[in-house]
């Protein structure tokens, strides 16, 4: 697999909507593996396809990697769609591989339910909470051209 170049702040692809993946072929699987390699190489816990220059509705993440001393549990979500959100919110400091060394507080839903397709073409539903829910929301925002700084509450 390969480590791809991460698109940085100012790259207009970060503000565009991703397109759904219609066919899970060898190119999509290669992209998923490259995204994971790129994420790990940059000490990230999540990455959206647009961040490596591909307008595909696909995200990868691994919250266990950061929480469990480098034990890997990679996840690939194709065409993810958040179908429910808890009313309870968390205020968390977020960063992003596309915005190096920038961190800010963002409000996110504590729990979510997301529907997605896996690399085998199976449609699945995942219930996530805490850090996993936060990462999924952050990466799904990328698929809609939203970056975490767009979610920062402006000080009065």
Residues 6+ apart with CB under 8 A from 139: 46, 47, 48, 59, 60, 61, 80
Helix (H) or strand (E) holding 60: strand 58-61
Catalytic site positions: 139
CA–CA distances in Å: residue 80 to residues 6, 53, 71, 117, 145: 21, 18, 24, 7, 14
Q: What angle do CA 59, 21, 86 make, to 5 degrees?
A: 45
């Amino acid at each position: 697999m390969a480590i791809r170049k991460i698109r940085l702040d100012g790259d207009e692809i970060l503000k565009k909507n991703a397109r759904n993946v219609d066919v899970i072929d060898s190119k999509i699987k290669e992209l998923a593996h490259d995204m994971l390699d790129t994420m790990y190489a940059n000490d990230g816990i999540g990455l959206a396809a647009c961040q490596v220059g591909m307008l595909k509705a696909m995200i990868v993440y691994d919250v266990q990697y950061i929480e469990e001393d480098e034990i890997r549990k990679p996840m690939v979500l194709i065409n993810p769609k958040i179908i429910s959100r808890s009313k309870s919110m968390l205020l968390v400091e977020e960063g992003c591989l596309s915005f190096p060394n920038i961190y800010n507080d963002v409000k996110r839903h504590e729990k979510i339910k997301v529907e997605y397709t896996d690399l085998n073409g199976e449609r699945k539903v995942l219930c996530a909470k805490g850090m996993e829910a936060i990462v999924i929301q952050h990466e799904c925002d990328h698929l809609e051209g939203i970056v975490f700084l767009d979610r920062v509450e402006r000080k009065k």
